[in-house]
Amino acid sequence: MLTEYLPLSGEKVADCLIKREGLLCKNWSYDYGVVWRGMEMLYALTGDKRYFDFILNALDGMINEEGNPAGYSREAYNLDYLCIGRQLIYLYRQTEKEKYKRASALLRSQLENQPRTSDGGFWHKKVYPFQMWLDGQHMAIPFYLQYDAAFGPDEKAQNDAAKQLILAYRHTLNPDTGLPCHGWDEKKQQIWADPQTGRAAHAWGRAVGWYMVALVDSLELLQEENQQYSEVLEIFKMLSEKLLSIRQDGVWLQVMDCPGRIGNYLESSGSCLITYAILKGARLGLLPGEYGMQAQKSFESLQRHFLGQMKNGEYFIAKCCQGAGLGGYTGRDGSFDYYISENVNSRDLKATGAYIQAACEEQLLREGRRGYGR
């Protein structure tokens, strides 16, 4: 890993990803959305059209003229599928091609019939009944609000989006640790669910990272006059303070609530997501400026712990948990042993995209810029 600070690292990592991966067009996959979001930011930051074209050329082939996305199924009611919706809105605004507007409307229509818990929280997927996961907040809620901003306004959508963020926090928060757990089962029947609270046992780093990004990206889009805005903001502030206080050498653990436990490790994707969220929160004035400075130190730690370079010059992000979930597959019981048993890899799209996003925010702070306008 790097021992000295690398400037303009977002561009360097993105250029290596483009060369290594080619167009991302094999699946309708949320990790593509994480990368493309980083490319959006780089294009706004640098004006280099290659980053815009990387999104356009992939999605242009995945969306037909009727606006039907290849590989998307509305009937699956899978919140993960909505992550790419933000790029559909972005491309419509950039190109004015109707197929992107139609495709984003199709994804938005999923939320009209998304199954819900008894108090109105979105199920993470149809195949995961009565379950809210932190992951789903990132996948769905910023898209929900971005669609409203582009084609609204819709007070009902604003209220519902804020409600999802609040319910996810209330249901997953472990008051003993001050951290939200990975998920919550309303029926308290899943193998991973506490029989009294329905909560999962642990705070998984990437899930907390997903939620932090959901909060800050949603606060940027949520109308301040919304009566739930202040509660969402307070959640973001409390979690930012808590997360900064539990860093390990500037970054975060795979299982956040088990420091010092044998087998736990510093994990890149969650660390990148959280760093991005706090950097952005400080830039937007949602958090004290000191938090931004602390997150900048965390970014430097990201480079030290996770940013590597091959002899051929290729930059990559290491130490990413390949994937973790709750139930659905054998062994996914939400235990500490489960989380540390999942594969750890390098060049993962989730960690790489999250790093690019964090790098863009860090560059703005380092250059004293308040926004992405050139």
Active-site residues: which are they? 135
Decide if 81 contacts 126 (C-beta within 8 A). no
Number of Cβ within a 10 Å radius of residue 30: 21
Decide if 160 contacts 237 (C-beta within 8 A). no
Reference 211, options 79, 111, 313; nearest CA is 79
Q: What single string gives the DSSP state of each residue in 15-51?
A: HHHHHHH----SS--HHHHHHHHHHHHHHHHH--HHH
Distance CA 20, CA 17 (A): 5
Cβ density class 57-83: b for 16+ within 10 Å, e for less: ebbbebbeeebebeebeeeebbbbbbb
Structure token digits, residue 75: 């009937």
Distance CA 317, CA 355 (A): 8
Token pair 């702070």 is found at: 365
Decide if 143 contacts 86 (C-beta within 8 A). yes
Q: Which SS3 state, helix, strand or coil, does residue 309 take?
A: strand
